[in-house]
Chain A
Amino acid sequence: DIQMTQSPSSLSASVGDRVTITCRASQGISKYLAWYQQKPGKAPVLLMYDAFNLQSGVPSRFSGSGSGTDFTLTINSLQPDDVATYYCQNYYIAPFTFGPGTKVDI
C-alpha cells in the first residue's frame, strides 16, 4: 500500500506569510493527489486536485505543485481564515490514503 507522509506536522506563521506544506508518497502516484482543508468540528473541504488544479471557489492564494512522490501546498499571504488542518490524499491506487495532516496556526 502507498503510505503518505506530511511535513511539518504543525506550524505557526503570521498573517501575510507564505506557508508551504509538503506531502510525500511512498511510491509514485503521478499527479493523482488532492489537498483538503479541515476546520475544527467541520467536514473537510477540497482545495486542490490533480496536484495543482484549484477547486472552484477556493481562493487563489492556495496553489499546489509536484508529481510522482513529492508534492507541496502553498498558501501565499496567510489569512486568519486559513487556520485549519490540511491533508493530502493519494487517489492513484487503492487504498486511497490520507496523509497525517498539518495543523496551521497564526
Chain B
Amino acid sequence: EVELLESGGGLVQPGGSLRLSCAASGFTFSSFAMNWVRQAPGKGLAWVTALTGAGNRAYYTDSVKGRFTISRDNSKNTLYLQMNSLTADDTAVYYCAKGRGSGTYYVDVWGEGTTVTVSS
C-alpha cells in the first residue's frame, strides 16, 4: 500500500525556520515526482513546490521562491521541505503529494498533512 507520512510541523515565530519531512513507502520512490501542497485555514488548495524523481529539477510558486527548498533522499525514501523566513501567510496544513510519474505532477496519492502555524 502506498503511504506518505508527513512530520515536522508545529508552531514557529515569524522569521523562523522549519523543516518538514515526508516518509514514503509502498512504491519505488525515486521513480516519481513529489509535491508539497498547502491549505491555509478555511482556504483552498495551493500548490507550493515539486521535484522530479531524480531530484535534479525543482519548481516553486512565486511566493516561496528564495525561502523554501524542496529536496529528497531517494536512499531513505524521504522528501523534505526546508522553510525559512516564515510569515503568517505560510500558516497552513502542508500535504506531501506523490506525482503520477517521474516528471508528471498531478497528485495520485496524498499524505494526511502536517500543520504549520506561524505566530508570535
A residues lining the B interface (CB < 8 Å): 1, 32, 34, 36, 38, 43-46, 49, 55, 85, 87, 89, 91, 94-101
Contact = CB atoms under 8 A, between A and B. Distances in A.
B111 A43 contact: yes
Interface in B100-119: 100, 104-108, 110-113
A97 B106 CA distance: 10
A44 B61 contact: no
B50 interface: yes
Nearest to B47: A96
Main SS of the interface on chain A? loop
Interface of B: 35, 37, 44-47, 50, 59-62, 95, 100, 104-108, 110-113
Contact of A89 (B62, B106, B111, B112): B106
A44 B110 contact: yes
Contacts, number: 60
Contacts of B107: 34, 36, 44, 46, 89
22 contacts: A1-B62, A34-B106, A38-B45, A43-B110, A46-B106, A46-B107, A49-B106, A55-B108, A85-B44, A89-B47, A89-B107, A91-B104, A91-B105, A94-B59, A94-B60, A96-B35, A96-B47, A96-B59, A97-B47, A98-B47, A100-B44, A101-B45
